[in-house]
Amino acid sequence: MGGYGDVKLLRDDGLRLDGRKIDEMREVEIEAGVLPAADGSAWVKHGLNVAVCAIYGPMEAHPRKIQRQDRAVIDVRYNMAPFSTSDRIRPGFNRRSREISKVTAEALESVVLVERYPRSKIRVEIEILAAEAGTRCVGITAAAVALADAGIPMRDLIVGVASGKVEDTVVLDLDKAEDNYGQADLPMGILPTTGEIAFLQMDGDLSVDEYNTCLQYNMKAAKEIHTIMVDALRRRYESKNGGEK
């Protein structure tokens, strides 16, 4: 978290700079099946963030040494397009994207029924086309929808959500200014049906009480986004079976 400077993030009327309430999330739009070359895909717009995810597989895992005898491996690449940020970023992976790819893969492995596909690999390609704070969560949401679109069995979806702290106040779903000048950020990957947590990171400064408020906001948001995810998958299913393709 930036955590410095005297930037005012809450208005006198208690609302946030963009007019949202403290427990209100940004608008979310989801579409499944947007990339014809992939076995499954999704497009998610969350605020001004845009993420696209393509699924390839299950396919034979190679090189051989990455194979697991009893399950599929999930091979995630989280990547930011060079034009996705205010200052252009050089193409290729950096330490941040490698860490996010690792923990995202581990979160997805927690829900995909990987034991159904021994020795195989499922490629999850998350591309961030526009970044406005919270891209790792948007990527997780996109990956869950794309996996479902690819027909890969999962015991639940995962929803990527985050809460944080600005001006000593806990708020849901930080936007760019709040992320830059806020005091804490708590991104989570939540299983909407069971309320289990498959993805967890946090940085900044949170008391135990503040943590609990963040958790409560995240749970609420997970349910809201879940509805939008299911709706996108239903539309995709209908379009496929309605003869359009």
List binders of other proteins among 17-46 (CB under 8 A): 34-39, 41
The residue among 12 and 70 lying less far from other proteins, judged by its C-beta, is 70
> Per CB under 8 A, which region of 11-19, 92-100, 135-143, 221-229 contacts other proteins?
92-100
Interface residue with other proteins among 7, 17, 202, 230 (CB under 8 A) is 202
Determine the Cα angle at 199 with ends 106 and 161, to 5°: 135
Footprint of other proteins on 98-127 (CB under 8 A): 98-99, 101-103, 106-107, 109-111, 123, 125, 127
CB-count burial class (<10 Å; 0-12, 13-18, 19+) for 173: buried
92 and 142 Cβ atoms separated by less than 8 Å: no
Considering the complex, what minimum distance in angstroms separates the CB of residue 171 from other proteins?
17
Residues 56 and 38: beta-carbon distance below 8 Å? yes
Applying CB under 8 A, which of residues 7, 10, 204, 224 lies at the interface with other proteins?
A: 204
Q: At what angle do helices 135-149 and 95-109 cross, to 10 degrees?
A: 40
Q: Is 59 in the site for other proteins (CB under 8 A)?
A: yes
Q: Is the dihedral of CA 107, 206, 135, 4 positive or negative?
A: negative
Q: Does residue 131 touch other proteins according to CB under 8 A?
A: yes
d(CA 8, CA 147): 40
Stretch that binds other proteins, among 10-18, 53-61, 135-143, 230-238 (CB under 8 A): 53-61
Exposure of 200 in the CB half-sphere (CA atoms within 13 A):
9
Distance CA 79, CA 94 (A): 9
Among 17, 24, 31, 77, contact with other proteins (rule: CB under 8 A): 77
Q: Which is nearer to other proteins, 14 or 92 (CB)?
A: 92
The span from the first CA to the last CA of the chain, in angstroms, equals: 46
Which 3 state secondary structure label does DSSP give 11?
coil
User: What are 69's two structure tokens?
Assistant: 């005898």
Only segment of 6-14, 137-145, 207-215, 221-229 that touches other proteins (CB under 8 A): 207-215
Q: CA nearest 51: which of 70, 66, 37, 30? A: 30
* String of contacts with other proteins for each residue 160-199, x by CB under 8 A: --------------------------x----x---xxxxx
Q: Which residues bind other proteins (CB under 8 A)?
A: 1, 3, 34-39, 41, 48-50, 52, 54, 56, 59, 68-70, 77, 79, 81-88, 91, 95-96, 98-99, 101-103, 106-107, 109-111, 123, 125, 127, 129-132, 186, 191, 195-208, 211, 215
